[in-house]
Amino acid sequence: MAVSMSDVARHAGVSQRTVSNVVNDYVHVSPATRARVQASLDALGYRPNTAARRLRTGRTGTVTLAVPTFQERYFADLAESVIAAARARGTTVLVETTGGRHDLELELLRGGGEVLTDGVIMSAVALSRSDQRGKHPVVLVGDREPGSTIDHVGIKNREAAQAAVTHLLDTGRRRILLLGANNGPRRSYQLRRQGYQAALKKHGLDVDPALIVESEWTTAAAADAITRTFADLQPDGIFAMNDSAALGALRALQRGNVDVPGDVSVIGFDDIIESSLSTPSLSTIAPLLDDIASTALDLLEEQLDEDHVPQHRMAGYELRVRESSAR
Distance (Å, whole) CA 319 – CA 269:
9
Distance (Å, whole) CA 94 – CA 99:
16
Between helix 5-12 and helix 31-44 the angle, nearest 10°, is: 120
Strands 176-181 and 151-155 come out as unpaired
CATH of domain 5-48: 1.10.260.40
Fold matches, 60-155+298-307 and 157-288? yes
Which amino acid belongs to residue 4?
S
Q: How far apart are the first and last CA of the chain?
A: 61
DSSP H helices, 58-155, are: 73-88, 102-109
CATH of domain 157-288: 3.40.50.2300
Distance (Å, whole) CA 55 – CA 52:
5
pLDDT tens, N- to C-terminus, the chain (327 residues) = 567 777 888 898 988 778 877 876 666 678 888 889 989 888 888 876 554 454 444 566 889 999 999 888 899 999 999 999 998 888 899 999 999 898 888 888 887 655 578 889 999 888 877 787 777 889 999 876 555 688 999 989 999 999 999 999 999 999 999 999 887 677 788 999 999 999 999 999 999 999 999 999 999 999 999 999 999 999 999 999 999 999 999 999 999 999 999 999 999 999 999 999 999 999 999 999 999 999 999 998 888 766 788 888 999 999 999 999 987
Q: Is 85 helix (H, G, I), strand (E, B) or coil?
A: helix
CATH of domain 60-155+298-307: 3.40.50.2300
Domain boundaries, the chain: 5-48, 60-155+298-307, 157-288
- pTM, two decimal places: 0.77
